[in-house]
Amino acid sequence: MKFFVVSDIHGDSYWCKKAIKAYKESGADRLVLLGDILYHGPRNDLPSHYAPKEVISLLNPLASSIIAVRGNCDAEVDQMVLDFPIMADYTCIVSGGVMFFLTHGHIYGPEALPKSIKEGDVLLSGHTHIAGDIIKDGIRFMNPGSPSIPKGETKPSYIIIEDGKAKLIPFDQSLP
């Protein structure tokens, strides 16, 4: 199974469309959203194309293909308008024998590891808006960043997972 991972869309319809287009072009079976789907949050400026109602209409038709976790800007009111579950703080997938722990990053992350993670596992999180891929103490930490509000001089990116391998890919780079 192939997974397309994006985080922190923050209600930006332009980046939601771009992510969906890249997801479809990638041939991935599942679209993974690492939280902060609709709301921009009080600490962030409005994204350039802030249109949460449009983001809802773009994502809901894909509900049967979406795996999502709750971000710190996601609320019960967001769940009321989305046709796929978003209120879990984390979930796990296994690909090619590798366990991927999916979370937003405001509860679990490199500095607050879940007890279930061990050497050889991958922790995927967003939250910081900083794309990255590092290995520390045998655990791989990956963050696709935020396409709509990237920080730390990183580019809008996503992650592809297939057969236990994961790759961080900038949106302006061609698909693998």
Burial of 10 (0-12, 13-18, 19+ CB in 10 A): buried
Percentage of the chain exceeding pLDDT 90: 91
Contact between 140 and 151 under an 8 Å Cβ cutoff? The reply is no
What are the backbone dihedrals phi and psi of residue 44, each rounded to the nearest 5 degrees, phi first?
A: -105, 145
User: Does 2-170 carry CATH code 3.60.21.10?
Assistant: yes
Question: CA 175, CA 169: separation in Å to the nearest integer?
Answer: 8
Q: How confident is the model at residue 46 (pLDDT cuts 50, 70, 90)?
A: confident
Residue predicted with more confidence, 145 or 173: 145
pLDDT surpasses 70 at 144:
yes
Q: How confident is the model at residue 44 (pLDDT cuts 50, 70, 90)?
A: confident
Domain regions of the chain by residue span:
2-170
* pTM for the full predicted model: 0.95
